[in-house]
Structure 1
Amino acid sequence: MELMATRTKRGERRADALSRERIVEAAIEILDAGGESALTIRALTARLATGTGAIYHHVANMNELFAAATGDVIASAMTDVVSVADPREAIRATALAVFDATDSHPWAGSQLSREPWQPAFLQIAESLGRHLQVLGVPQRAQFDCGSALGNYILGVAGQNAARTRLHPHDRSAVLEDIAARWAQLDPDKYPIMRQVATQLPEHDDRAQFLVGIDLILAGITTVLTRES
C-alpha cells in the first residue's frame, strides 16, 4: 500500500508538471533561448522529461503551441492596460505593451504577423476597439481606425522580429553598417536616404514607434472632428 501511495504521489506531481500551462511555459523558455527553430517536439519532451503523447494530450499541434505561447506573453504584457482611463493613453499603452512584448520575445512578433486571427491578435484588437469606442469614434469608422492601428502595430512587430532573426546580437553595429552604405548612395538619386543615414545609428526604435501611433491618433482626431 505504501508503494502504491508513493507511485500515486509521483503520478500526481508528473500530471501537474505536464499541465498545459507548464508546457506553454517550457515552450516560451525554449523560444526565448533559441528562437522559433529551437522549438521542436523533441526539445520540448527533453525539457519536460516526458513523451510525445503527454504533450499532445494538452496541445493539438505545434501551431497551437506557438499561438498559446504568443497569447501568454501578450496577455502578460497587457495586464496593466485596463487600468489606464484616458482612451488615447490606453491605446498608446496597448501599442507599447505589444511593442515591448515582441521586442523581448521576437518570435511572438513573427507569430502575430503570420497568423493574425489567433487569440493574441483578438486580444489586441478588442483592446484597441474598446478604447476607440470610449474615445467616441463612430461605429462606422471603428473598423478603419482599428485596422490602421492594428496593421501598424503588427507590421512593426513583424519587422522587428525579422531584424532580430537576421541580426540577433549587435543592433548598433548593424545600423552603423547600413548608415555607412546609405551615406555612399548617389546624392542625386537618394538625397533623402543620405539624410536619414545620419539619424539611423542613434535613433530609438521604441520612441519612433510611438511617434507612429501618435500620428495615427492625430488622424483619428481628424475623423472625430469631421464626424461631429
Structure 2
Amino acid sequence: MAPGARGTRRRVTHSLEAVVETAVALLDEAGEPALTFRALAARLGGGVGSIYWYVSNKDELLDRATDHVVAGMLSDTEDLAADGDPIDNTRGIAIAVFTAIEKRPWLAAYFMRNTTIQSNALLLYERIGEQVMRLGLPPRECFHAVSAILGYVIGVAADLGQDPPQEVLDGTVAAETYLHGVADNWRALDPERFPFMHYIVDEFDGHRDIDQFRAGLELLLEGLRLQAEG
C-alpha cells in the first residue's frame, strides 16, 4: 500500500448524464418511490455522497430526469414543417407528449415544475405555443389554448398510464375480460338513475384508450380552429 493510502477512500466519479439516465431507469422500473440516493448510488457504484456532486436534492434530480425525457419529445417533433398546418403540427406534438407520459406515469407530476432546470420543457412549451400563435389569436387566447392542450394531454396520459388492477397485472384476468366485467356492472345499474351510463355502455365496452384520447384531442383542436376562424 502506498504511503498515506491507508484509511483514505477514492471518490467514485460518474457524470451528470450517467446520474440522470440511471435515475430515469429507476423511475421507469418502479416509479418515484424507487428513486432514492441510496438506490441510485448502488446502481452506479459508489457511495451516496458521490451523487451530491451532481444534484443537491431529490427534487432537483426529479426535475433533471423529467427534462431528460422531454429532450426526447423535442427530438421526436423537430421535423414538423415550419410552414405546415399549425393544427396538424400541434396534434403531432400533443401525441408525442401523450405517448411519452403514458409510458412513464411518474413524468406527469414533474412536467414543467421547474422551468429553470427544465430548459427542454420550456422549449417544448415554446414549440406548441409557436404553432398556436400562427393561428393569429390574441395573447390571452393563445395562452389559454396551450394550457388547455397540455393540461388535457398530461392528465389523460397520467390516468391511462396507471397500473391496471392487480388481477390484470398478475394475469388472472385478461384486460378485455376485466373491461367487459365493468361494462356489465354498468348495465346492471338502474337506467332511470344512470341514463347516460346506459346510453354509452356499449361504446365503453371494448373501447381503446388511444381512440378515447384522440377523440378528446380532436374536440380541443377543432374548437381551436373554429376560434381562429371566427
TM-score of the aligned structures, taking structure 1 as reference length: 0.81
2:196 counterpart of 1:192 = yes
Q: Deviations over 1:146-187 (max 9, x none)?
A: 1211211122133234x3276683644543332232222111
SS in 2 for 1:135: coil
Mark the runs of 5 or more structure 1 residues left unpaired by the alignment: 4-10
For residues 179 and 123 of structure 1, do their structure 2 counterparts lie closer, same or farther at Cα, with a shift above 3 Å needed? farther
Corresponding residue for residue 142 of structure 1: 142
For residues 121 and 77 of structure 1, do their structure 2 counterparts lie closer, same or farther at Cα, with a shift above 3 Å needed? closer
Distance between the aligned counterparts of 2:67 and 2:60, measured in 1? Answer: 10
Residues 99 and 153 in structure 1, CA contact (< 8 A), matched pair in contact too: yes
SS in 1 for 2:206: coil
Deviation, 1:27, is: 1.0
Distance between the aligned counterparts of 1:172 and 1:60, measured in 2? Answer: 45
2:219 counterpart of 1:212 = no
Corresponding residue for residue 22 of structure 1: 18
Corresponding residue for residue 105 of structure 1: 104
The percent of aligned pairs where both chains have the same amino acid is 34
Letter in 1 for 2:39: A
Deviation, 1:110, is: 3.6
2:32 counterpart of 1:36 = yes
Corresponding residue for residue 154 of structure 2: 154
Distance between the aligned counterparts of 1:141 and 1:98, measured in 2? Answer: 22
Distance between the aligned counterparts of 1:207 and 1:147, measured in 2? Answer: 22
For residues 172 and 121 of structure 1, do their structure 2 counterparts lie closer, same or farther at Cα, with a shift above 3 Å needed? farther
Aligned residue runs from structure 1 range 1-228, under 5 A: 15=13, 18-85=14-81, 86=84, 87-112=86-111, 116-118=113-115, 119=118, 121-161=121-161, 163-164=162-163, 169=169, 171-226=175-230
Distance between the aligned counterparts of 1:81 and 1:37, measured in 2? Answer: 31
Task: Say how many residue pairs are matched.
Answer: 211
Deviation, 1:98, is: 0.9
Corresponding residue for residue 8 of structure 1: none
For residues 106 and 140 of structure 1, do their structure 2 counterparts lie closer, same or farther at Cα, with a shift above 3 Å needed? closer
Distance between the aligned counterparts of 1:166 and 1:76, measured in 2? Answer: 30
Residues 24 and 65 in structure 1, CA contact (< 8 A), matched pair in contact too: yes
Mark the runs of 5 or more structure 2 residues left unpaired by the alignment: 3-9
Distance between the aligned counterparts of 2:19 and 2:164, measured in 1? Answer: 24
Residues 182 and 194 in structure 1, CA contact (< 8 A), matched pair in contact too: yes
Letter in 2 for 1:47: R
Deviation, 1:201, is: 3.9
Structure 1 vs Structure 2 CA RMSD? 2.5
For residues 193 and 213 of structure 1, do their structure 2 counterparts lie closer, same or farther at Cα, with a shift above 3 Å needed? same
For residues 135 and 81 of structure 1, do their structure 2 counterparts lie closer, same or farther at Cα, with a shift above 3 Å needed? farther
Residues 101 and 154 in structure 2, CA contact (< 8 A), matched pair in contact too: no
Residues 182 and 193 in structure 1, CA contact (< 8 A), matched pair in contact too: yes
For residues 204 and 146 of structure 1, do their structure 2 counterparts lie closer, same or farther at Cα, with a shift above 3 Å needed? same
Q: Deviations over 1:12-52 (max 9, x none)?
A: 9x53xx11111111111111112222111121111011111
TM-score of the aligned structures, taking structure 2 as reference length: 0.80
Deviation, 1:92, is: 0.8
